[in-house]
Amino acid sequence: MQYIDGGVCAAKGFSAAGIWCGVKANSSPAKKDLALIVAEVPCSAAGIFTKNRVKAAPVLFDIEQLKGGKARVIAANSKNANACAPEGMENARRMAAAAAAAAGVDVSEVVVSSTGVIGQRLNVEAIEKGLPEAAKALSASAQGSDDAANAIMTTDTVKKEFALETTVGGKTVRIGGIAKGSGMIHPNMGTMLCYITTDCAISSPMLKKALLAANALSFNRISVDGDTSTNDSCVVLASGLAGNAEITAEGADYAAFLEGFTALCIDLARSMAADGEGAKHLITCQIKGAKTVEQAEIIGKSVIGSSLTKAAIFGCDANWGRVLAAMGYSGEDFDPEQVDVAFASAAGRVEVCKDGRGLAFDEDLAKTVLTEKEVVIDVTMREGDASATCWGCDLTYDYVRINGDYRT
Amino acid sequence: MQYIDGGVCAAKGFSAAGIWCGVKANSSPAKKDLALIVAEVPCSAAGIFTKNRVKAAPVLFDIEQLKGGKARVIAANSKNANACAPEGMENARRMAAAAAAAAGVDVSEVVVSSTGVIGQRLNVEAIEKGLPEAAKALSASAQGSDDAANAIMTTDTVKKEFALETTVGGKTVRIGGIAKGSGMIHPNMGTMLCYITTDCAISSPMLKKALLAANALSFNRISVDGDTSTNDSCVVLASGLAGNAEITAEGADYAAFLEGFTALCIDLARSMAADGEGAKHLITCQIKGAKTVEQAEIIGKSVIGSSLTKAAIFGCDANWGRVLAAMGYSGEDFDPEQVDVAFASAAGRVEVCKDGRGLAFDEDLAKTVLTEKEVVIDVTMREGDASATCWGCDLTYDYVRINGDYRT
């Protein structure tokens, strides 16, 4: 397994584009607001979507579209979420019809996404005008993926794009993805859009199975602010052009694919947590020695979701008491007197709590450790031998600034 | 029922004091750090405590102490939580023994609390020296309650103190309380300490029943930051000196007491939410038209707990889409197309969402409404006729500043 360039265009059979069509206000240089991803052949497809009771129109539309497990075109706009918006479903359908016409496929093969402000009418006319232009700009080069990754960004500060190749059934298979997500991020997915392409030959049911398995270890283990959005969508398309024997059941081939696919999803998920709105730190919380993986995950999510822990990491303050408090209110039962905590980073490691009690530690070293961009909160319990890793970010002045006036 | 002065000293039979003993560093003027409340007669007593799995030593101590439903002395320090701390239980016991000796009662009649930083050894020697001094300073005047209210403050910016009188069984009964709480505040209680005294004659079981009922409508409906602390405690003492026939069962007398008691608990709870760390706004979320009170409460708590909604209110931004999103991820089932939202305050009212869709509204008026200190988010559903009110505060730069470096 090794990393390669190309994002969603790395796998055989995919091209992508990103343009400015006018959903975002004009600016110089123009900020892209419309992404298009097209497969040259029909694909196995799978998607997972927000669990929020309030679902955006494109989410409801896509859930129907993907019931058959096939798709080959993805169109997505940023700046407007088309959620709780007038004519929401009608505009989602118009966007899909325009994408189908532009790409020359049947509308049944199209999924659409929107991300941005909730409650305002989508400027679908701009999208209808823009899609033929986006189709003209389609490129199978790395630039195509780059443009698409840029076009789905809202408050993101860096684009999220990864690709890797691995071997499945003796053939080289490529898996690549782009994502956006910065605020309204919480386990059970966030305000994230994520598109993954692969040329692995895999049936729709097995692709869906792989997506659910990888999601549980990646997108469901990140949190920026505890807010689960109305628009979260992750869609994967598999063109089958790698030439491997189609995966239709579990076995060595499925395991090889899943390993690479999960690694890619974790990369995308971590990059969203690291680019959380206003974030100065990526926080990785490792829970070891739990009774079960579920327990480890629930406790880890409670720690990365704690506003007080997040603010302490922003202040580079080794305030481990907040870690224990967050573990304690997770709802899980455990012995607080059997918990060790350490903070670690590229700058070193400092043990701060042993058996639920504070250790004397070098405050200067702790400050140095916590000043790094990537910080690990390393928790060891003595309940069992299960573990889980979750990712979050710190709570900063900039998070408040960004969200104090997002609409204007 | 009418409001009176005096806090915990308003009811007959109680005196209180607050002094500086040296748990907080010396400063000029000295910041009080030790509170003492003493009843002149044995009292019915009841307490409720944090549900955090990680409980501070004084919480574990008090739970045992209150099993018999009797107490007459409360000693509390600020600055150090005596949670996850070396010699925690031993120091809680030493503090109780010193309070018993200073007040001239048996140690079985004493409860103790600590609030502040987690994980550091409590300077119990300073408390042991301070308690006799606090006992000398005891006063049944309003000043005694004021001093005690000041002594339990940590990051609080204002003291929380209320008292009222009502009529029970033909007699005037007084109920008064003091509280602290600013950060680590979340439904299921926060880093709050709350002490309530009354001269109503009421049995221990009925006092506990009233405390649970009032708590459900007050302290369990506030959130500052979603963090449930290790130290939350609310203790009520009833001296019985009002001369009413002792309440030993439900009926008109219990109902009259409960009405006043609940009103007082809501005042204390609201004052904690309004003084949330860094808060510029008190947010009141009213949910009407829910299927059940439980549903209304779960949805209301989800709204006041939403970081994005809190940041929007800080920015005086009528971003109602975040209210709908927070309702949607509450886990409750409801029809999002049957939801109306309005923002209201002393400056007016603005309807922003009808049937789950945005209304055209006057942005200037909305800004004016949201600039007030107290803001109401008024949500109407069409699921049934149950309602609930919850309280929270906005998320501000100051919350991040306060919690970015709390220990030092």
pLDDT digits (tens, 9 = 90+) for A58-77: 999 999 999 999 999 999 99
pLDDT for A266-315, tens place per residue? 988 888 888 877 788 999 999 999 999 999 999 999 999 888 899 889 98
Residues of A in contact with B396 (CB under 8 A): 400
Judge whether residue B42 has pLDDT over 60. yes
**What ipTM was assigned to the predicted interfaces of this complex?**
0.71
* Any B CB within 8 A of A184 CB: yes
- Residue B29: partners with Cβ closer than 8 Å, 6 or more residues away: none
The dihedral through the CA atoms of A383, A384, A385, A387 has a sign that is negative
> How sure is the predictor about A158, in pLDDT bands with cuts at 50, 70 and 90?
confident
> Considering only A177-186, A343-352, B329-338, which range has the smallest mean pLDDT?
A177-186
In sequence order, what are the residues at sequence separation of 6 or more whose Cβ sits closer than 8 angstroms to the Cβ of residue B104?
A: none
Task: Give the per-residue pLDDT at B397.
Answer: 82
pLDDT at A399 over 80: no
Residues 6+ apart with CB under 8 A from B212: B48
B378 backbone dihedrals φ, ψ, rounded to 5°: -105, 110
Report pLDDT for A228: 62
pLDDT over 50 (residue A248): yes
- pLDDT for A134 beyond 70: yes
> Which of A:22-81 have CB within 8 Å of B?
51-55, 81
Residue B361 in contact with partner chain A when CB distance is under 8 A: no
Q: Which amino acid is at A271?
A: S
Question: What distance in Å separates the CA atoms of residue A265 and residue A267, rounded to the nearest whole number?
Answer: 5
Nearest-Cα distance to chain A for B317, in Å, is: 6
Quote the CA–CA distance of B95 and B91 in Å, as a whole number: 6
Residues 6+ apart with CB under 8 A from A249: A206
Instruction: Decide if A226 touches B, using CB distance below 8 A.
Output: yes
For B74, counting Cβ atoms within 10 Å of its Cβ (0-12 exposed, 13-18 middle, 19+ buried), the class is buried
* pLDDT of A259 over the 80 cut: yes
Read off the pLDDT band of B29 (50, 70, 90). confident
Please tell me which of the candidates B52, B312, B320 has its beta carbon nearest to residue A119.
B320
Instruction: Give the domains, in start order, of chain A with CATH numbers.
Output: 2-274 (3.60.70.12), 282-404 (3.10.20.340)
Which residue of chain A is at minimal alpha-carbon distance from B337?
A84
Q: Do B228 and A54 touch (CB under 8 A)?
A: no
A-chain residues near B53 (CB < 8 A): 327-330, 332-334, 336
* Cross-chain Cβ contact A328/B230 below 8 Å: yes
Active site residues of A: 191
Q: Does B262 participate in catalysis according to the annotation?
A: no
Task: Give the mean pLDDT of chain A.
Answer: 90
Is any Cβ of chain B less than 8 angstroms from the Cβ of A105?
A: no
Q: How many whole angstroms separate alpha carbon A203 and alpha carbon B50?
A: 51
Whether A358 sits inside 8 A of B84 (CB atoms) is yes
pLDDT range class, residue A249, cuts 50, 70, 90:
very high
Average pLDDT over residues B296-309: 90
Tokens at residue A317, please? Answer: 């303050």
Residue B353 has pLDDT above 60, yes or no: yes
Is A396 at the interface with chain B, CB within 8 A? Answer: yes
Residue A407: what pLDDT?
55
Measured CA to CA, the distance from residue B351 to residue B348 in angstroms comes to: 10
CA distance B31 to A183: 40
* B36: pLDDT strictly greater than 60: yes
How would residue B225 be classed by pLDDT, with cut points 50, 70 and 90? low
Q: What is the pLDDT of residues B158-175, one digit of tens each?
A: 888 999 999 999 999 999
pLDDT at residue A190 in the model: 42
Q: SS3 of A47, please?
A: strand
**Looking at beta carbons, which residues of chain B come within 8 Å of A405?**
315, 317
- B 113-142 residues inside an 8 A Cβ radius of A: 117-120
pLDDT score at A227: 61
Tell me the pLDDT tens digit for each residue of B357-397.
889 999 999 999 999 999 999 999 999 999 999 998 888 88
In this complex, is the C-beta atom of A315 within 8 Å of any C-beta atom belonging to chain B? Answer: yes
**DSSP secondary structure, B166-217, as one string:** EEETTEEEEEEEEEE--SS--SS--S-EEEEEE---B-HHHHHHHHHHHHHH
* Least confident stretch, A22-26, A88-92, A156-160, A176-180: A156-160
User: What average pLDDT does the segment A384-390 reach?
Assistant: 94
Q: C-alpha distances in angstroms, A92 versus A76, A108, A211, B222, B337?
A: 10, 13, 24, 39, 17
Report the mean per-residue pLDDT for chain B: 90
Side chain identity, residue A139: S
Enumerate the residues of chain B whose CB falls inside 8 A of the CB of residue A181.
none
Q: Is the peptide bond before A58 cis (omega within 30 degrees of 0)?
A: no
| Secondary structure (3-state) at A64 | helix
Which residues are CB-neighbours of A61 under 8 A, at least 6 positions away? A89, A92, A93, A96, A111, A112
Average pLDDT over residues B30-40: 95
Cis preceding-peptide flag for B29 (omega within 30 of 0) = yes
**Crossing angle, helix A124-136 and helix A88-103, to 10 degrees?**
20
pLDDT band at B142 (very low <50, low <70, confident <90, very high): very high
For a pLDDT cut of 70, what percent of chain A falls above it?
95
Copy the structure tokens of residue B157: 């910016």
In chain B, residues with a C-beta closer than 8 Å to the C-beta of A307 are 225-227, 307, 399, 403
Among residues A58, A186, A332, the alpha carbon closest in space to that of B302 is found at A186
What is the rounded average pLDDT of the residues B76-97?
Answer: 94
What percent of chain A has a predicted confidence (pLDDT) above 90?
Answer: 67
SS3 A389: strand
Give yes or no for B155 touching A (CB within 8 A).
Answer: no
Task: With CB atoms and an 8 Å threshold, state whether B399 touches A311.
Answer: yes
- Tell if the CB–CB gap between B118 and A322 is shorter than 8 Å: yes
Is the predicted pLDDT of residue B184 greater than 70, yes or no? Answer: no
Closest Cα of chain B to A110: distance in Å? 26
Which residue in chain A is spatially nearest to B358 when comparing CA positions? Answer: A119
Residue found under tokens 């739990």: A290
Cβ of A397 under 8 Å from any chain B Cβ? yes
**Tens digits of residue pLDDT in B203-212:** 999 999 999 9
Pairwise CB contact (< 8 Å): B329 & A186: yes
pLDDT for B188 equals 40
CB B199 within 8 A of CB B159: no
pLDDT value for A403:
76
pLDDT value at residue B50: 80
Query: B358 and A84 in contact by Cβ < 8 A?
Result: yes
Average pLDDT of A349-377?
93
Does the pLDDT at position A260 exceed 90?
A: yes
